[in-house]
A and B are shown apart, each in its own frame.
Chain A
Amino acid sequence: MDVLLDNLDLFGPFFLTTIELFLIAGACSLVLGTILAMLRVSPVPMLRAIGTTYVTVLRNTPLTLVFAFLVFAYPLLDIVKIDYFPTAAVALTIYTSAFICEVVRSGINTVPIGQAEAGRALGLSSGQILGGIVLPQALRSVVPPLVSMLIALLKNTTIASGFSVAEAGAIRQYVSERGDNQMIALLWVALGFIILVSVLSLVQRSLEKRWSVAR
């Protein structure tokens, strides 16, 4: 208990940063993931190829390497300097969106073909079909895996602690240097994450109830 109270100046702000990072990266990766899914199912072969390459590369690279590239290789390109927190958000976004793309894509596959055919019969363009008919239904049917992705994102934010973002993953190092018991600190951090994950699970359950699809 002392470990928590003595180091409250660490636990509070660091977890806050974790939550901030999660919210920003989560929102952006949902958007980017959906765009990528649209690329992957588009009729234009070039767009499909771009989408597939992006997803294949990012799904098979460890997140730490994605971070390393952005933190050390990107500044060498000398385009626009990005600070460390935004860099972490970008890294998490581009990584998670690859997985969200796959989930949304499998969601698109569950929408009955008849929906798209009806849209075509009405003379809608592919963009309109995708955006107005297919995607809303697809997203509703994949709420559980989407929320699971977001929970994974929440836990992945700890990687950012190795790249100059003062968030929950860094707590252990601070506490150990201060001479306090690391094990207790780690247990408190684990508890913090369990609480956050439970919140997300509750959100998932309520969304499922509201949007459950009767087929």
Chain B
Amino acid sequence: MSTVLFDTPGPKARMRHRIYAVLGILVVAALIAFVIYRFIDSGQFSGRKWEWLQYSQVQSDLATAVLATVKAFALGAVLAIVFGAVFAAGRLSDHAWVRGFCTFIVEFFRAIPLLILMFLFYYGLPTLGVDTSPLFAVVLGLTLYNGSVLAEVFRAGIQSLPKGQSEAAYALGMRKTQVMFTVLLPQALRAMLPTIISQLVVLLKDTALGFLVTYPELLYYARYIGSQGDFGRPIVPSTIVAAAIYIAMCLLLTALATYLERRNRRSKKHIDTGAKDAADLTAAATGGLRGGPF
């Protein structure tokens, strides 16, 4: 099997690869063993540091925290997609003032760190008289920020569609808005699905910033448990558990994405937007947008 860059390995190369594989596994195993040994040495795996997991109150609070994370994520994801669609359409509008306004909004929210945005809403809005709960601040921040990134993704998606689609729609007599929202955006969504999903993974991880505005999500709870002297201040164990949960959630989200993409490819509504290279490049151009990863 020859890939782009390398020729099929011959027998000597295969032998070498096998040796590398064995060596590699040994090295990795040694590293992991070293880390675990040192952790045990400093008492991180002692029962005391892990007993917090046994308490039913802790377990139910942990579940509540995970649910809070998912809730913020769900709200943020839906609103961000809507925001992104609207502002992508705005940026492609025929009216200059709409274009300019939307461009300004998108560029503005992509340039500010999400941390600062959440702070601004949580601490700043009350001074203007608007009552903000932590959830509101978190979801608003996530929506504006990720929505702006998604607006760029949608725009790239729309521009990558074959011109024939919009031309046909206009030929049928549809108005600009109709064309945008019934023909172009749904296809753009499907075409850019991988990038959109990776941005949603970023959104999920960004909910972790909510702990700074006291939104009781997973990281907030992990920090809280880590600070409990009763449990021996299990900072490292709580971090490990939190990391495992986040990785599991993100992987599940990505798996969902891959499944949807596979279903998408078999669906009749899918349009092959040209060579894989072009899609890859568009994905690369927008996948790491100015605000891409958290």
Chains A and B directly touch (beta carbon < 8 Å): yes
List residues of A whose CB falls within 8 A of some B CB.
Answer: 41-47, 49-50, 56-57, 59-65, 68-69, 72-73, 76-78, 95-96, 99, 102-103, 106-111, 113, 116, 120, 126, 129-130, 134, 141-142, 144-149, 151-152, 155-156, 158-159, 162, 169, 172, 176, 181-183, 186-187, 189-190, 193-194, 197-198, 201
Q: List 24 A-B contacts (CB under 8 A).
A: A43-B3, A47-B20, A49-B24, A56-B251, A61-B246, A64-B209, A65-B246, A69-B243, A78-B38, A103-B284, A106-B284, A107-B284, A109-B280, A141-B281, A144-B285, A145-B288, A152-B290, A155-B115, A162-B212, A176-B123, A182-B124, A183-B127, A186-B120, A187-B120
Q: How far is the CB of A184 from chain B (nearest CB, A)?
A: 9
Contacts of A111 in B (CB 8 A): 4
B288-A103 in contact (CB<8A): yes
- Partner among B17, B44, B119, B209 whose Cβ is within 8 Å of the Cβ of A186: B119
Q: How far is the CB of A193 from chain B (nearest CB, A)?
A: 6
| Complex interface bits, B277-294 against A, C-beta within 8 A gives 1, otherwise 0 | 100110111111111111
A-B interface pairs (CB < 8 A), number: 205
Question: Which chain B residues border A129 with CB–CB below 8 Å?
Answer: 5-6
- Which A residues touch B112, using CB under 8 A? 155, 190, 193-194
The answer for the CA separation of A147 and B21 in the assembled complex, in Å, is: 35
B13, B115, B292: the one contacting A169 at CB < 8 Å is: B115
**Residues of B participating in the A interface, judged by any CB pair closer than 8 Å:** 3-7, 9, 13, 16-17, 20-21, 23-25, 28, 34-35, 38-39, 41-42, 44, 108, 110-117, 119-120, 123-124, 127, 201, 205-206, 208-209, 211-212, 219, 235-236, 239, 242-243, 246-247, 250-251, 254, 276-277, 280-281, 283-294
Q: Is the CB of B123 within 8 A of A183?
A: yes
In the complex, what residues of A have CB within 8 A of residue B120's CB? Answer: 183, 186-187, 190
A78 nearest CB across to chain B (Å): 6
Task: Output the nearest chain B residue to A75 by Cβ-Cβ distance.
Answer: B42
Shortest distance in angstroms between B208's beta carbon and chain A's nearest beta carbon?
Answer: 4
Q: How far is the CB of B48 from chain A (nearest CB, A)?
A: 15
Cα A196 to Cα B34 with chains together (Å):
42
- Interface SS of A by simple majority: helix
Partner of A60, one of B23, B236, B247, B276: B247
Query: What residues on A are CB-neighbors of B205 within 8 Å?
Result: 60-63
B287 to chain A, nearest CB (A): 6
**Of A46, A57, A162, A183, which is in contact with the most chain B CB atoms at under 10 Å from its CB?**
A46
A182–B13 alpha-carbon span in the complex (Å): 62
In contact, A72 and B208 (Cβ under 8 angstroms): no
> Of B124, B239, B276, B283, which is within 8 A of A73 by CB?
B239
Whether the Cβ atoms of B281 and A43 lie closer than 8 Å is no
Given A106-B280, A172-B119, A126 and B294 contact (CB-CB distance below 8 Å): no
Contact B243 A44 (CB under 8 A): no
Task: Please report the C-alpha to C-alpha distance between residue A155 and residue B181 in the assembled complex, in whole angstroms.
Answer: 33
| Contact call A113/B127, Cβ cutoff below 8 A | no
What residues of B have a CB within 8 angstroms of the CB of A46 in the complex?
Answer: 17, 20-21, 23-25
B5 touches A50 (CB 8 A): no
Docked complex Cα distance between A72 and B285 (Å): 36
